[in-house]
Amino acid sequence: MDTNQAQLFARLQELRKQIQYHNYRYYVLNEPVISDYEYDQLYAELVKIEREHPEWITPDSPTQRVGGVVAEKFEKVQHPVPILSLSNAFSKEEVLEWFERIAKLDERVRNADFIVEPKIDGLTVVLHYHEGVFVQGATRGDGSVGEDVTANLRTIKALPLRIPISPLSRVKAPRSLVVRGEVFITIKDFEELNRRLEERGEKTYLNPRNTASGSLRQLDPRVTAMRPLTLLTYDIVQTDDDPPKTQSELLERLYDLGFPVVESRYCANLDEVFEAYEEYLRRRDELGYEADGIVIKINDLSLFEQLGVVGKDPRGAIAFKYPAREVSTRLLDIGVNVGRTGVLTPYAILSPVEIGGVIVKQATLHNFDFIAEKDIRIGDVVMVKRAGDVIPYVIGPIVDLRDGDEQVFVPPTRCPVCDQPVEHIEGEVAWYCVNAACPAQVVRNLEHFVSRSAMDIVGVGVNLVEQFVQAGLVNDAADLYRLRKEDLLRLEGFAEKKAENVLQAIANSKNRPLARLIVGLGIRGVGEVVANELARQFKSMDSLMSATVEQLQSIEGIGPNTAQAIVDWFRQPRNQELLEKLRAVGVWPVEGGGPSEKAKSIFAGMTFVVTGTLQRFTREQVKEFIERHGGKVTDSVSKRTNFVIVGENPGSKLAKAQALGVPILDEAKFLEMAEGEDALINSSH
C-alpha cells in the first residue's frame, strides 16, 4: 500500500467508526449528535471508498447491513444452552406464592434483591459475537434449537455489528459472547407502517408483534430491511469473560459494550418490586412499545443459577403480567373513514368500554376483507384489544353470544362523505372514493401536495393547511398560489413576517420540476419513481393528461391498475379543473425535471450487472436510470455485485450470479424495487 492508499484506508476505518458511533447515538441512545444530512455525507464518503476498493469491504462495515441472498429456508441453530421461558403470575398473591416456594428451597431468597424489567412483547433472539463481530443470530425455536435469521437481524440498525462501540466503551469484547434480547416494533413505527400500507391500498398488519414476527421470518432480508424492527437486550447467555455476578452488572456490561438494553429498576425487596409493578403499569403507554407485564429477576446470578429450572422456566425469575387489554363489548355499528388516496377504511363503533384505564368507543376493523373473513356482524359481541398506545382493534366476534339479530355488513357502494360511487381494484383489498373534491380528501391531499417528496413548500405543514381550508381560503392546491398577504393577516397567528415567509415559500415552489408536481397530484400508485418516469417520458403535463391506458401500460413498472388510476384521475372533472387552475397560476413545469433528492439515493452504493435484453430499456438507458438514482452498473459479476438484472436470453452472467449467490432481479422486480421503499436501500437514517 502506498502512502495515499494507506491514508485512504485510515479514512475508511475512521468513517466506519464514526458511522457506527452515530448509529449508536441515533438507534440505541435516541440522542443523535449530528444531523441526518451530515450522517448521509459520512455514509456516502464510505460508500465511495468501498466502491473504489471492494477488497476492503468487511461484513461489519455499516454499509453491509442489507445484502445477502434470498434463502430457501432457515438453517437450524443449536443454542449453546437452553433458552428458557418464564412462568407467569397474574396477581400479587401469585408472586408471593412464588417467593415463598423458592424461599423454602433456599433461605437466601428471603434477603434477596431484585431487578425488574418490562416484559417486551416481541420475539426472543439469540445473538452470537465472535471477537466482537456479530456472526450469527437465531430465533428461540423450541428453546434448544432455533432458526438462523442472521441476515435478517443484520438489517436491524439498533443491533451492533461490532462491539464494543468505540470510542465510548470501558470494556473489551470477550472472544466469544452470546446475548439474548427481544426484537419488536415500536407502536409509532407500527402505525406509520400501517398508514403507508393503507394509503397504497394494501393489507395492513394486525398488531406489532405479528408484524415483527412475520418480518423476522422473511426469507428475503431486503423485505426485513423495509420493516422498522428494533431490539433490546436483557441477558448474557454465554461469555468467556468472567460472568457478571448480578443482573444489574450484566445489564451494565451489555450497555458498556454498546447494546441497546432494556430499562430496569433495582428493588431491594419484594415490597419495592410491587411498587415498581404499579409504576410500570401506570406508565405502560409511555414505553413506546408493547409490554405485557414486568419480569422480576433475582439479582444475584449465582443464587438464580442454583435455584435451577422447572420444565423450561427458571425458578429465579417470574413474569408478573398486566391485566389483559382485551375486553368484549357490543359492536353497535360500522363506520367508514376516507383517507387521502380515497381509501375507505371501516371502523367499529362500540358500546363504550374501559380497557386499561381508557374508555374505548371506536376500534379499527382494518379493511372490508377482514370483516368478511372474521364474519363480524353488526350487533355482535366482539373482542377488542388495546395494546400500548396502538389504536384499539377488533380481534373477532364471539359467535356463541349471537341471538340471531346480528346484521351482515355490506360495504358501501358510495363514498360516505361525498356520495360518489366507490371503486374496487382487482388484487387490492381497498375500496376507493375516486372523487378528489371529496371534502375528506381535500385537507389530506393538500398536506401531501406541500410535503417534502412533492412540492416541498417549506414551512407549510398540516396545521397551516387545515387553517387555510377551515378559513375557506383554500380548496385545492392551486388556491395556495392565489393566497394574498391580506388573506393571511386575517388568520390567527399571522403577522407581517410570517405571512411574507409563507407566501415566499409557496411562490418558490412554482419552479419545482414536473416530476414533483406529478407526485403532488397524489394519484394512486404514483410515487416518486413512477413520477420521474412519467416526467421523463411525457415531458409535459399536457401530454401526460392525454395519455391512454395502453401508452401508460407500455411503460415498464406501470401495471394496469396504476395506468387505469392515472387515466381515471385525469378524467375527473374536478381534477381537470385543478390542472387548469394550476396552469393559470403558473404552476406548469414542462421540462423532464430532474430526479428528487430521495429518488437519487434509491440505489446509492449499489452495484448492478445487466444481462440479456430488457424490454423497457436499452443498455444505455438502464445504466443511465441506475446512475441517476445513485447506483453503478458494471460489466462483470463478482461477490461485490448487489444485484443482477436479467432480461431475455441472458448470458453466462446469470450462471455466475447464481453460483456466487448474487440476488437476481427480472425487469419487473427491478422496477418494483425502484418504486418501493426508499428505506430499503437508502443510506440515510
- Chain positions contacting ligand IVH, by CB under 6 A: 84-86, 117, 119-120, 124, 182, 234-235, 262, 295, 314, 317, 319
Q: How far is the CB of 365 from ligand IVH (least distance, A)?
A: 29
Q: How far is the CB of 133 from ligand IVH (least distance, A)?
A: 25
Q: Which is nearer to ligand IVH, 315 or 629 (CB)?
A: 315
The smaller minimum CB distance to ligand IVH, of residues 142 and 375, is found at 142
For residues 324 and 462, which CB has a smaller minimum distance to ligand IVH in the complex? 324
Shortest Cβ 293–ligand IVH spacing (Å) = 8
For the question of residue 48 being annotated catalytic, the response is no
Rounded CA-CA distance 278/284 in Å is 10
Residue number, 317 or 654, with CB nearest to ligand IVH: 317
Beta carbons within 10 angstroms of residue 324's beta carbon: 12
Shortest Cβ distance from residue 147 to ligand IVH (Å)? 15
Query: Cα separation of 294 and 417, whole Å?
Result: 45
SS3 of 468, please?
helix
Q: Which of 84, 52, 50 is nearest to 67 (CA)?
A: 50
Strands 123-130 and 176-185: antiparallel
What's the min distance (Å) between Cβ of 5 and ligand IVH? 47
3-class DSSP state of 129: strand
Q: How far is CA 244 from CA 111, 117, 308, 684, in A?
A: 20, 17, 18, 37
Torsions phi, psi of 408, nearest 5? -70, 135
Closer of 235 and 406 to ligand IVH (Cβ): 235
Active-site residue (options: 17, 104, 119, 623): 119
Nearer to ligand IVH, 14 or 305 (CB): 305
User: What is the distance in angstroms between the CA of the first residue and the CA of the last residue of the chain?
Assistant: 33
Is the bond into 164 cis (omega within 30 degrees of 0)? yes
Determine the Cα–Cα distance for residues 232 and 252; give it in Å rounded to an integer. 13
Do 292 and 186 meet the contact criterion of CB atoms below 8 Å apart?
Answer: no
Q: How far is the CB of 325 from ligand IVH (least distance, A)?
A: 17
The CA distance from 124 to 141, in Å, is 9
CB of 318 to ligand IVH, least distance (A): 10
All three cell numbers of 420: 360518489
CB of 314 to ligand IVH, least distance (A): 5
The sign of the CA dihedral 489, 494, 497, 498 is negative
Q: What angle do CA 17, 23, 25 make, to 5 degrees?
A: 105
525 vs 675: CA distance, rounded Å: 9
Cβ distance to ligand IVH smaller for residue 317 or 436? 317
Sequential DSSP letters for 626-676: HHHTT-EE-SS--TT--EEEE-BS--HHHHHHHHHT--EEEHHHHHHHHHS
Q: Which is nearer to ligand IVH, 143 or 416 (CB)?
A: 143
Active site residues: 119
